[in-house]
Amino acid sequence: MVLKEQLAGLARHEGVWDGNYRHYDSAGKLVDEHKSRVLCCFPEGGDFPYVQTNIYDWSDGRNQRVDLPATFREGRLWWDNELIKGWATELPMDDNGRTLVLYWHRANDPELYVYEMIQISDCGKKRARTWQWIRDGELVARTAIEEKLVSRDWQRVQAKKAA
């Protein structure tokens, strides 16, 4: 698969990740926290060489599922859907191959944009993600995410959800 060859660091993220999202306001106050399951999928064939599925669960019983299909061109993943528009790529200066960088904004609010960094552990079983939410050059929020790999077999997990 071309994508996995050209973005070998991204390919290390393939699988199912469980974690916690913590959202903070610009003053550092925790404003939201929830559990997550993220599926990083590299489907064979079809229009999208990468699909990320985010499943969020809050302690009050709310939940949400978001599917984020991406195309690949110019050495980057590209999202352009009803929720987000943006890109992701590896950080070539990271000699250790641990870092991905993303830029995206909500499709309905292009003035609020996000830069995200993802660091994967050398063992490939843990990762940390940080989002910086910016509007008019001002930091408005941060998101911190800690995740652990629970399975490389995202196909089995998808099949269970569909059944």
- CA dihedral sign of residues 70, 72, 78, 81: negative
pLDDT bracket for residue 123 (50, 70, 90): very high
| pLDDT band (50, 70, 90) for residue 3 | confident
Q: What CATH number did the domain enclosing 122 receive?
A: 2.40.128.20
Mean pLDDT, residues 106-127 taken together: 96
Q: Which domain does 110 fall in, by range?
A: 2-162
pLDDT of residue 6: 86
Per residue in 13-43, pLDDT (tens digit) is 999 999 999 999 999 999 999 999 999 999 9
Number of folded domains in the chain? Answer: 1
Asked if the model's pLDDT at residue 69 lies above 70, the reply is: yes
pTM: 0.93
pLDDT at 1 over 80: no
- What pLDDT is recorded for position 41? 95
Quick one: pLDDT at residue 156? Answer: 81
